[in-house]
Amino acid sequence: MRVELIAFTPQPEWVVAAAARLCYSAVGIPEITKSLTEVQVGKFVEKLMKIGHHSPFEHVSFSFGIEGISRVTSHQLVRHRIASYSQQSQRYVSYQELPCIIPSTISQEPELAEIFNKTIDNLKKLYATLLERGVPAEDARYVLPNAMETKIVVTMNARELLHFFTLRCCRRAQWEIRAMADEMLRQVKPIAPHIFAQAGPSCVSDRCQEGEMSCGKPRKELLEGRVK
Amino acid sequence: MRVELIAFTPQPEWVVAAAARLCYSAVGIPEITKSLTEVQVGKFVEKLMKIGHHSPFEHVSFSFGIEGISRVTSHQLVRHRIASYSQQSQRYVSYQELPCIIPSTISQEPELAEIFNKTIDNLKKLYATLLERGVPAEDARYVLPNAMETKIVVTMNARELLHFFTLRCCRRAQWEIRAMADEMLRQVKPIAPHIFAQAGPSCVSDRCQEGEMSCGKPRKELLEGRVK
Amino acid sequence: MRVELIAFTPQPEWVVAAAARLCYSAVGIPEITKSLTEVQVGKFVEKLMKIGHHSPFEHVSFSFGIEGISRVTSHQLVRHRIASYSQQSQRYVSYQELPCIIPSTISQEPELAEIFNKTIDNLKKLYATLLERGVPAEDARYVLPNAMETKIVVTMNARELLHFFTLRCCRRAQWEIRAMADEMLRQVKPIAPHIFAQAGPSCVSDRCQEGEMSCGKPRKELLEGRVK
Amino acid sequence: MRVELIAFTPQPEWVVAAAARLCYSAVGIPEITKSLTEVQVGKFVEKLMKIGHHSPFEHVSFSFGIEGISRVTSHQLVRHRIASYSQQSQRYVSYQELPCIIPSTISQEPELAEIFNKTIDNLKKLYATLLERGVPAEDARYVLPNAMETKIVVTMNARELLHFFTLRCCRRAQWEIRAMADEMLRQVKPIAPHIFAQAGPSCVSDRCQEGEMSCGKPRKELLEGRVK
């Protein structure tokens, strides 16, 4: 898996603080766009988080280039509708290689790993045969497995990212999307430390919201395991 | 493929006409909710389409239960973000059978069909073995192919449906999602005949918007082939 | 204020239960669309609320015709972006009367009420003069006050309605939008009693989320005061 | 009116080109994030516009601080739902001055201008009296007119901006929002010249979509008048 932050709104915490100040004070654009000290910005952002005033966080966006994730994971990812996606198309691209993600529950069992790899090899041959015989890539792709790697650019604003981390950094999320979400969080945290200070699963940012499907781990242990 | 309209806003054209009348006249809720004749409603809806005033069409929604489509198609479908989805989960459901969609470019070539079916049979065995050996369904699903059938409930409002038909009833769309979109259009047309009178690919509803990727077919031929 | 539920998805709880069943079980469209007993549907909906699985609630929508609210309130209302609106246009409609909403903090002080009404009367004359002198309605409306009544049709799905009630039935919300939200809740509750059983401000549905801006009332008192 | 571009995704055309290349070619993140020449980026963006592949334009956002617009205009602005807003609150801010926008159809008629200004002065006095007498700002604001100036931060991605310009740079749009949209376009054009090359009303970017409500001006004249 490779996650790369390829673009983001510069000085994101300053933008959030400036937008929020406009709402609550009688000052105008020239005043809010004058430089605030870094400390003032940080305190302002912390306060917004605390009082639950989340809309100013929408003004800043983060774009990630992601590759080496399975289509299992991209299918879950694109279900988040307040976001933008550009995904490598299996319709327009004919693949030479079929790189796949193997879950550890399979790769760590030599016997299972062997039949898994053999089956993928057979798929590869079938896919190549179909293309050779003139089947269009958009039809040949029907044989490609969920495990196959995909590439995607995803953009979310900070408010949606916070929500995304709540759901996908959770131990209840599938391991692969969770690893991806953790890595995304790791990369945005140094850029906007006050925005993402409490980011993570609901048990970290607030309290567990998984109800009877909760993992049940003690909060202390979860706090230790979270993205620093 | 099975497409079933399972719910929709009753009297959709009346709702659209009532909402639009409120915008443009000084009448109030009691007046707009008095019964208009069917003919008046129809004329009003036609006028809204003609002047391009589309927002009142958002007040009415249509929900479809769909099964027997491949995950190739559901992956395209869920990329439409102004809609609601409930999809059968490969994470929580362990399958006994792995029903698959075979593209006709494969099924009509006996030799290709044979190796396709054989490969799917091997996948089935692998999937069953993985489950037997204790691999969780959420990991075993990595071997499932794009061709595998899925089930989904999708809800769109009429404005988004019109947009969806523009893109997905087009000859440039993938054959499977196009068949699905055509069937959806066939089912909503009798219920809201004025709303969907011109619905279909952009060449039917307006003019081709595919630019240099246009299919190039003469408009006359396309009109004949469209959903009645 | 007049709030009228003018349309909604029929049998909303059944639709929600059917969509959700598809996600978690191996059954297909024909099975989920077979009739469930009312009791089964109710239990299923309650369980979805409890485990926080909210997406199936998006499949059902409710449309309200609303009049006799000020533009203060409609301006707050239309900030909810996951919804559809048709509002009476001050651009295209020329008003004879200028009905206004007077806050009780003004109407209950005879002296204030008098100058308020006098000022509105002057505005009325100015508006009429402007129209007479050929100023287009779209420019004459610049003199109209926030207090002026407006009419709007709004459609939200049940998931968004639940979120809307959390924010707008709260004692921290402006009194006018709160009265409107309470009335909307009162009307949908008998139609979908299990969906809206816990609906209301966050203190009722869960726990106060207003942080240091909380009204601080004891929960018991708030529960007594909520929409039945 | 003051419009200030306060933040935007750096190198927006490069981001769009990189995201789009990922979709259509077999290259990965490292390749797409390597530097393309400015000329290559420009050609790529032009091609995307031409074939109507608009989704990559969503990856870049622009944030504007806007002041000196009336609430007539902000009310129209916030109806665009695929955007983010932070608006100065009349609920939390008590105003000393009530700066207003006067339409030229009024300001250019000395007699009308006089009664307009006199009426606003009376409103000012009423507003001040209400505050003095202890009416909360959230209620006193009911007397404020549509003409009153507001301040807002708005963020849109490039795809939505293009759509916004289509509607709001049109001669059919209200003069005030049109002036604001023209100024926004003027500011983003040098930053992303290929993205916004054809931006403007539908008659400029494509062909008139106003139907029978068209202004009817010859296209040549409209092209001359558009934002350079």
Position C198 pLDDT exceeds 80: yes
Low-confidence ranges of chain B (pLDDT < 70): 219, 222-223
Other CB atoms within a 10 A radius of the CB of residue B110 amount to 7
Contacts of D11 by beta carbon, 8 Å cutoff, 6+ apart: A7
Alpha-carbon distance of B158 to B191, in angstroms, equals 12
pLDDT, tens digit, 9 for 90 and up, residues B59-78 = 999 999 999 999 999 999 99
- H or E element that contains B70: strand B61-70
Predicted confidence band of residue C222 (pLDDT cuts 50, 70, 90): low
pLDDT at position D23:
81
Other CB atoms within a 10 A radius of the CB of residue B138 amount to 18
pLDDT, tens digit, 9 for 90 and up, residues D126-151 = 999 999 999 999 999 999 999 999 99
Distance between start and end Cα atoms, chain C = 19
CA distance C212 to chain B (A): 35
Integer Rg of chain B from CA? 22
Residue of C nearest to A49 (CA): C211
**Contact with chain A for residue D53, Cβ under 8 A:** no
Pick from D126, D118, D136, D141: nearest CA to C115: D126
Between A211 and C195, the higher pLDDT residue = C195
Give the whole-number percent of chain A exceeding pLDDT 90.
71
Q: Sheet containing D84-87: which strands, arranged edge to edge?
A: D2-8, D61-70, D149-157, D84-87
Length of chain C: 228
Q: What is the ipTM of this complex?
A: 0.94
Predicted confidence band of residue C205 (pLDDT cuts 50, 70, 90): confident
Predicted confidence band of residue A222 (pLDDT cuts 50, 70, 90): low
Between D129 and A211, the higher pLDDT residue = D129
Amino acid at C190: P
CA distance C121 to chain D (A): 11
Amino acid at D115: I
Active site residue C168: yes
Q: Best mutation site among C142, C144, C152, C155 for testing chain D: the one with the most D CBs within 10 Å?
A: C142
Burial label, A53 (beta-carbon count in 10 A; 0-12, 13-18, 19+): middle
Contacts of B111 by beta carbon, 8 Å cutoff, 6+ apart: none
On whether the CB atoms of residues D144 and D90 are closer than 8 A, the answer is yes
Give the whole-number percent of chain B exceeding pLDDT 90.
71
Alpha-carbon distance of D13 to D4, in angstroms, equals 20
- Chain D residues in contact with A61 by the CB 8 A cut-off are 9, 61, 157
Predicted confidence band of residue A161 (pLDDT cuts 50, 70, 90): very high
pLDDT at position A226:
74
Average pLDDT over residues C47-55: 92
On whether the CB atoms of residues B100 and B70 are closer than 8 A, the answer is yes
Position D106 pLDDT exceeds 80: yes
Domains and CATH numbers, chain B: 2-85+149-225 (3.30.1360.170), 94-143 (no CATH)
**Contact with chain C for residue A210, Cβ under 8 A:** yes
The pTM for the full model equals: 0.95
Residues 158-197 of A with CB under 8 A from D: none
Strands C2-8, A2-8: parallel, antiparallel or unpaired by DSSP? unpaired
Average model confidence (pLDDT) for chain A? 91
pLDDT, tens digit, 9 for 90 and up, residues C96-145 = 888 999 999 999 999 999 999 999 899 989 999 999 999 999 999 999 99
pLDDT at position B222:
66
pLDDT at position D222:
65
Position A121 pLDDT exceeds 80: yes
Pick from C53, C84, C77: nearest CA to C157: C84
Amino acid at A64: F
DSSP assigned state of A148: B
Amino acid at A78: V
**Contact with chain D for residue C126, Cβ under 8 A:** yes
**Contact with chain B for residue A117, Cβ under 8 A:** no
**Contact with chain C for residue A50, Cβ under 8 A:** yes
pLDDT, tens digit, 9 for 90 and up, residues B75-112 = 999 999 999 999 998 887 778 888 999 999 999 999 99
Pick B211's closest partner by Cβ from D51, D211, D213.
D51
- H or E element that contains D163: helix D158-168
Average model confidence (pLDDT) for chain B? 91
Residue of A nearest to B174 (CA): A138
Q: Best mutation site among A23, A24, A51, A205 for testing chain C: the one with the most C CBs within 10 Å?
A: A51
pLDDT, tens digit, 9 for 90 and up, residues D155-204 = 999 999 999 999 999 999 999 999 999 999 999 999 999 999 999 998 88
- Chain A residues in contact with D55 by the CB 8 A cut-off are 84-86
pLDDT at position D33:
74
